[in-house]
Amino acid sequence: MNLSFIPNLLTIARMLAVPPLVWALLAGYFGWALGLAIFAGLSDLADGWLARRFSWQSLWGSVFDPLADKFLMVASYITLGWLGELPWLLVGLVIVRDLVIVIGGLVYYHRFDRFRKHHVEPTQLSRFNTFCQVFLMWFVLVRLAEFPFPLPAEGQIGLVWLVGVLVVFTLVQYVWIWSWRAARVRREAAKNDSAGSSS
CATH of 6-186, one of 3.40.50.620, 3.40.50.10490, 1.20.120.1760, 3.40.718.10: 1.20.120.1760
> Quick one: average pLDDT of 28-52?
87
pTM score > 0.85 for this model?
no
Domain extents in the chain: 6-186
CB atoms within 10 A of CB 76: 27
pLDDT of 176 > 70? The answer is yes
Task: Report yes or no: 86 and 155 within 8 Å, Cβ to Cβ.
Answer: no
CA 74 from chain centre, in angstroms, equals 9
Nearest Cα residue to 73 out of 15, 128, 32:
15
Q: What is the DSSP annotation of 81-115?
A: HHTTSS-HHHHHHHHHHHHHHHHHHHHHHHHT-TT
Cα dist. 127→3, 28, 83, 122, 168 in Å? Answer: 26, 30, 27, 7, 14
Assign 197 a pLDDT band (cuts: 50, 70, 90). Answer: low
- Residues 112-120: contacts with CB within 8 Å, 24+ apart? 112/181, 112/182, 112/185, 112/186, 113/181, 113/185, 117/59, 119/57, 119/59, 119/62, 120/62, 120/63, 120/66
The pLDDT tens digits for 62-96 are 777 878 888 899 999 999 999 999 999 999 999 99
- What DSSP character marks residue 5? T
Say which residues have a Cβ less than 8 Å from residue 173's Cβ, sequence separation at least 6.
123, 125, 126
User: In the chain, count of helices (H) and strands (E)?
Assistant: 7, 0
Q: What pLDDT is stored for residue 151 in this prediction?
A: 79
